[in-house]
Amino acid sequence: MPHAPDHRLPTDTDDGMLLIISGPSGVGKTTITRGVERTIPDAVFSVSATTRAKTEADVEGVDYHFVSDEEFERMRRGGEFLESAGVYGKKYGTPRAWVLEQLKRGRLVILEIDVEGAKQVKAGIPGAFAMFILPPSEEDVLARLRARKRESEEQIQQRFGHAKREIEAARACGVYDTFIINDERQRAIDEAVARVNEARQARRCV
């Protein structure tokens, strides 16, 4: 694993924190993630590696690092992921070296991962701060999935079932430090930012 450079940049701090953001499909977690990233000056988003096919809308290195199944497995065997998971037949993993380097630089490093991934990361980095985004209601999740108009009703029902199971798992696993209800986008973003700032301030006082 490559080491972070020893020399410090003018922007380096000792305030690094790993932020995990999770939530069921259709809850709007990516909108909240991007809102936190835009609002907190030193926040950086961790780009996952994936075996899923690149679409015309995807930008390599911005949306994902697109790799073959063989390359992904090589990386996993080599311990290059903080966490990895299979989702709907595709594989996703968080590159370890980049995350650790950014933490050393004092950045707020954001991971948008599922519950199983959050468990893996917390096991390796117990100091990570984890938040789970909840819908106002189950009916809201179903309505959002349908509004995206990406999938058949059968696929939507599969995602809806998975979303309900993920919410149950998140509540039961003990990994998450806070739960935020996404009832109104800007309010939820503001609450997420406030919780992150409170967590970092508490660590400065220790």
Span 77-104, pLDDT tens digits: 999 999 998 877 899 999 999 999 999 9
Closest among 22, 20, 19 to 163, alpha carbons compared: 22
Q: Give all strands (DSSP E) within the chain, no chain letters.
A: 17-22, 43-45, 49-50, 65-66, 81-87, 90-95, 108-112, 129-134, 178-181
90-95 and 81-87 as β-strands: parallel, antiparallel, unpaired? antiparallel
Give the number of C-alpha atoms closer than 13 A to the C-alpha of residue 161, restricted to the C-beta side: 6
- Checking if the pLDDT of 191 tops 70, the result is yes
Averaged pLDDT for residues 177-193? 97
Averaged pLDDT for residues 33-59? 94
Question: Is 17-204 CATH 3.40.50.300?
Answer: yes
Find tokens 């406030």 and name the residue.
194
Query: Rounded CA gap, 168 and 146, in Å?
Result: 22
- Checking if the pLDDT of 181 tops 80, the result is yes
Task: Answer yes or no: are the C-beta atoms of 14 and 203 closer than 8 Å.
Answer: no
Q: What is the dihedral of CA 29, 35, 37, 39, to 10 degrees?
A: -150
